[in-house]
Amino acid sequence: MKILIIAMYHPELVRGGSQQMAHELFQGLKAVPGVEPVLLCSADYNSPAMFKSGARITGFDQRENEFLFLSYDYDYNWHKLPLPLQAEAFAVFLKRISPDVVHFHHFMAYGIDYLTLTRKILPDARIVFTAHEFMAICAADGHMVRKGDGSLCEQASQVRCHQCQPHFGPEEYFLREQWMKAHLHVVDLFTVPSRFMIEFYTRWGLDAEKFLHVPNGLQMPKFSAQAAAPARRNRFGFFGQMVDVKGLHVLLEAVNLLRAEGFDDFAVEINGENIQFATPARRKEIEDFLAEEAERPLAERRVSFNGGYPHGQLAARMARVDWVVVPSTWWEIFCLVISEAWHFGRPVIASNQGGPAERITDSKDGLLFELGDARALAETMRRAATEVGLWEKLAGGITPPEPREAMVQGYLAAYEAAAARQKLAAE
Amino acid sequence: MDDGTTGRARKAPPAPLPEFDEETYLRLNPDVLMAVAEGKFRSAREHYEQYGRAEGRLAMAPRDLPRDKIIITARPGSTGEAPHTPLGAVDTIKLSSAGGLFVTGWVNDSLDRLDSVELYVAGWSVAFSAASLARVRRPDADQVARLATPHALGFWGFIYAARRLPTGKCNAVMRLKSGAELILIVNIESQDDLDLRSTVLNHLASAQYPGPAYFNSVSSIGRAIGSQLVDFSQMLTRKAVSTPYIERFHHGGRVPKASVIVCLYGKPDYLALQQALFSRQAGAEDYEFIYVCNSQALAERLLQEAAIAQLAYGLDITLILLGANAGFAAANNLGAAHARAKRLVFMNPDVFPKEPDFARRHLAQVEDLPALRTDIFGAALYYSDGSLMHAGMYFEADTMPGFLLEQKDDETILRVEHYGKGAPPEDAALLRPRPVPAVTGAFISMSSAWFEELEGFSQDYIFGHYEDADLCLRSLEAGRPAWLADLRLYHLEGKGSARQMVHEGAAAVNRWLFTHSWVEPVKAALLGPAPVHPALAEVRP
């Protein structure tokens, strides 16, 4: 069985959850007998050196079966590419690879219409689409967070979407939905890493029967617990992108509140990057905080910024903290950081919505706090740092995260389910 | 005293004036007092003898002037006021290469009305009668003229010479009814024909008309400007459609049963959207799409969109690209001329099927229903918010009293209304298939033979609006009213193209033209939502 995995970005060029999972799957499928995976990742203006004159699709760094789709002039309003040459190159590539399964992990950088194009070129192939967020439903970056007040959005509508991003009129949001659904119609099977997403997509109008829950699985480095446990469990870590919806600002505000209360027996380590993708206001807020922190006398510093981290450094970074804080202000679809924290035996303190709420059981294997509420986070952190035995109890409650192999098996089952649905549709 | 040495023939001596009183005559006639003071006459008596008697002026005052009553001391109209040079300016004179001439300016004719604006240029001249000019408010001119109450001192006019005229300096003469003149020397600006049309239509839409502003704008067009603009625009339309670029994105061997003709303007996105949504329909392959683009700037993008659409959706597309905006009517007529099917579907780019089996049901109705019902028909159109947008069209007439428009006659303008606009989606009475006075051009299905018989959309209408109602009325007059069919589509009204001020100007001209063409038959039998026209018998409940 030949499986073409289509991803937005190559994780070695631009980091991100969906491309990481696509790549994990690609690597995992290589180990499955009788399966030949091919990986096609988009590259855009973020990786100008990858572009070659006249090429639309190229190889990648001498890797077997790894290709780059060179995307430019993408239309973010309608999610489509403008040039016939790009579509033709994609069509030729599909014919050349001739896969049994085309597994999209994203449509961004290609265009949602490439789903229909795929069906047109490969009428018999199974098309599987994994939604890593709500991009098809939500024009506001697929986050389903209201732009006006930052509140979570549970229902897209032409008027609500227009209120969020007024440059499109209600009619255009109506059309956007029709346009998206017209192309998603060709998908045989959808998968989502978290169950709660299915409700969102079915409420939006897609068929629940076409959805399958396949949790993300990571191949993690080997880990053995520390020999000697520290006396206090008062070290908190943030891991991930420093963009608005990851909620780093909530954590920093919680630090301010704890200090204002006179509680400063804690440490926070920030491990993250891509602050350039944050909004200017949020970026300034974070950078001002960190600059002010750096000005404090060493003994008063409680927050340190460690920058980004390659995968190989994850164990070392995790070893420096007791708790991992996930203060995301959006639905946080799956949260690979939770998997990483659990792998290293770190309980997670997370916002009480979306993926984290689905995965963490409060006071059993982690702690949940009201999303976006810095005071609630401050109280939770204070409790975590001071309540004797809490860390040990929660760490003991952690279930090891799904390994990559489980995810691979999950997707193989999805490909079978897609075949069954195709057969059903044909009948 | 005249001593007779001037050599001129002596006049006959006047009749004796025993009671002529020099002082009284001057008091009664202040204009004579001024003339004598200026030396134009040697005495009051001389004025009386030469003019005053003939003008019926009193030579002496009554002994007792009656109290609280005006008495007439001369025959009305005989005491000519000395004409005063009016205040005014000519702001613009623009001349296009094909002979379109546009003039704007203002004149203080609040008391002494404007008679004409004359332009004298080396080789040609033109006199705009005051009636042919549109009058508009000019607050800046009001200030200069120090008027206590605002007047429509501004004017503008347009005339189409249909020939190249030399430009240069121009003597512009603003002549008032009294004969007073203001003479100015003005440079004539040259302008491209298309630009001039835009300039004039923009001006038409943005000028401040007095009183009932919209009525006044339409009323002022009607006197002369409208027909001149229509002629001018027709010339531009003929030019625009004379050299189209045509590219076919066809899949060989197909014989379409229907040709969908879509006029694009300003927005390229809708080709892909329409193709994506229409191609999902069962039976979509029986249709070909002909996109006629009125925006030169979209040409490259549309070629790309059509190529991608051919690859991804697989419907036959013909792309017709025009170098200038030929308007809705001419673009659709051109599309129809390149259609391969005998069934024409004129569809706006922002129209999409609401039903999954629209494509098949449409053709089934064409095949199954009698020709009387299918030669020309429309469909129920819906807003994206779910409510009804259109279930046929009818006509209303708005009338404004003439005194509000400073004219003798009352003014009537026709208005087109949609049955069921904003109504709940399932209203059986509204959705019932029936003949209607007209259907919107957003969706018209027509047999090509009947379209040809009617000679297509009228290209008199500038850019767009009212040509659909005009087509339906011509069909009605020829014995075949448009029908509302049992079909449903979305129409995101006004979203499929880019609307600008210039289109508002064109819409005003079109409304005047539509009224001018149809007001009598509409008043006779087609007024209101339940007209009495016999061919529409089913409309009446």
pLDDT attached to residue A231:
78
- A interface with B, Cβ–Cβ below 8 Å: 77-78, 80-84, 87-88, 91, 113-114, 116-117, 120, 158, 169-172, 174-175, 178-179, 182-183, 185
pLDDT attached to residue B254:
86
**CA–CA min distance B452, chain A (Å):** 34
Q: How confident is the model at residue A225 (pLDDT cuts 50, 70, 90)?
A: low
- B307/A158 Cβ within 8 A: no
Break chain A into its structural domains and give their ranges: 2-218+404-426, 235-397
CB contacts of B280 in chain A (<8 Å) are 182, 185
Q: How far apart are CA B106 and CA B93, in angstroms?
A: 13
Check: pTM over 0.80? Answer yes or no: yes
CA angle B371, B374, B376 (to 5 degrees): 120
Pick B384's closest partner by Cβ from A77, A120, A174. A174
CB contacts of A182 in chain B (<8 Å) are 276-277, 280
Q: What is the mean pLDDT of each run of 10 residues along chain B (541 residues)?
A: 42 61 84 88 89 81 72 70 81 96 95 94 94 94 88 95 94 93 95 96 94 88 92 97 96 92 95 96 96 96 97 97 96 98 97 96 97 97 95 96 85 95 93 97 98 98 95 97 97 80 92 96 96 80 39
| Diameter of chain A measured on Cα atoms | 73
Pick A113's closest partner by Cβ from B276, B314, B384. B276
Q: Is A248 helix (H, G, I), strand (E, B) or coil?
A: helix
Q: How far apart are CA B481 and CA B187, in angstroms?
A: 53
CB contacts of B277 in chain A (<8 Å) are 178-179, 182
Total number of residues shown for chain B: 541
CB atoms within 10 A of CB B255: 9
pLDDT attached to residue B407:
82
What would the two tokens of residue B428 be?
Answer: 């059986």
- B313/A116 Cβ within 8 A: yes
If we measure between CA atoms, which residue out of A218, A194, A214, A198 comes closest to residue A206? A198
pLDDT digits (tens, 9 = 90+) for A267-306: 999 999 889 989 999 999 999 999 999 999 999 999 999 9
- A172/B273 Cβ within 8 A: no
- B314/A84 Cβ within 8 A: no
Q: Is B181 helix (H, G, I), strand (E, B) or coil?
A: strand
What topology is assigned to B88-234 in CATH? Immunoglobulin-like (2.60.40)
Q: How far apart are CA A17 and CA B231, in angstroms?
A: 63
* HSE toward the beta carbon, residue B399, CA cutoff 13 A: 6
The H or E element that residue A269 is part of is strand A267-273
The type of residue at B523 is K
More confident call, B12 vs A333: A333
Q: How confident is the model at residue A135 (pLDDT cuts 50, 70, 90)?
A: very high
Domain A2-218+404-426: give its CATH architecture.
Answer: 3-Layer(aba) Sandwich (3.40)
Q: Do domains A2-218+404-426 and A235-397 have the same CATH topology?
A: yes
> Ramachandran region of residue A184, left (φ > 0), alpha (ψ -120 to 50) or beta?
alpha
Radius of gyration of chain B (CA): 32
CB contacts of A91 in chain B (<8 Å) are 311
User: Which residue of chain A comes nearest to B386, CA vs CA?
Assistant: A174
Contact B345, B317 (CB under 8 A): no
- B495/A171 Cβ within 8 A: yes
Query: Strand B154-160 relative to strand B100-107: parallel, antiparallel, unpaired?
Result: antiparallel
ipTM: 0.86
**Mean pLDDT over each residue of chain A, to the nearest integer:** 95
**CA–CA min distance B307, chain A (Å):** 6
CB atoms within 10 A of CB B370: 7
A235-397 CATH choice from 3.40.50.2000, 1.20.120.920, 2.30.30.100, 3.40.605.10: 3.40.50.2000
Q: Which residues pair with B247 in a beta bridge?
A: B319
Q: Where in chain B is the domain with CATH 2.60.40?
A: 88-234
Residue bearing tokens 């000005």: A295
- A83/B276 Cβ within 8 A: no
Q: How far apart are CA B486 and CA B379, in angstroms?
A: 7
Q: Where in chain B is the domain with CATH 3.90.550.60?
A: 245-539
pLDDT attached to residue B9:
44
pLDDT digits (tens, 9 = 90+) for A1-53: 999 999 999 999 998 889 999 999 999 999 999 999 999 999 999 999 999 99
CA distances from A201 to A129, A130, A205, A336, B252 (A): 13, 12, 6, 21, 39
Contact B376, B452 (CB under 8 A): no
pLDDT digits (tens, 9 = 90+) for B456-485: 999 999 998 999 999 999 999 999 999 999
**CA–CA min distance B484, chain A (Å):** 24
Residues with Cβ within 8 Å of B133's Cβ and at least 6 positions away in sequence, in order, are B114, B117, B155, B156, B157, B220
CA angle A102, A106, A111 (to 5 degrees): 90
- B313/A78 Cβ within 8 A: no
- B interface with A, Cβ–Cβ below 8 Å: 269, 272-273, 276-277, 280, 301, 304-305, 307-308, 311-314, 350, 352, 383-385, 490, 492, 495
CA distances from B478 to B369, B446, B471 (A): 20, 15, 11
Q: What CATH number labels B245-539?
A: 3.90.550.60
Q: How far apart are CA A111 and CA A82, in angstroms?
A: 9
Coarse DSSP helix, strand, coil percentages of chain B, rounded to the nearest 5 percent: 35, 25, 40
